[in-house]
Amino acid sequence: MKKAKIYKPSKSAMQSGNKNSDKWFLEFFTNDTGINPLMGWESSTDTLGEIKLEFSDKNMAIEYAKKNKINYEIIEPKERKLVKKSYSDNFTK
């Protein structure tokens, strides 16, 4: 049975804005990884590991997984903690 994870990616350290942070992804787990004896790279015969499906919300990804009989695991995103800072705080403490 196919197994996948449904997640919302966190932004990288190089991103300051929130563009493209509202999409959810369904990505299959890779099975049977091994080392290619010729080149030494990690390889697999499982081509589902190369597929990454994009959805506009979490419910659409869950419906797709249920409709196609895919076992799935939902990874909830971590919420950012915003600390409001003021320039004047540098001088009033």
Number of structural domains in the chain: 1
Q: Can you give the residue range of the structural domain that contains 67?
A: 3-92
25 Cβ contact partners less than 8 Å away, ≥ 6 residues apart: 6, 7, 8, 9, 52, 53, 54, 55, 61
Looking up tokens 């990690």, which residue turns up? 42
Predicted TM-score (pTM) of the model is 0.72
**CATH, residue 44:** 3.30.160
pLDDT, tens digit, 9 for 90 and up, residues 12-54: 777 777 776 789 999 998 877 788 888 888 777 778 878 899 9
More confident call, 68 vs 78: 68
Q: 29 with 4: CB under 8 angstroms?
A: yes
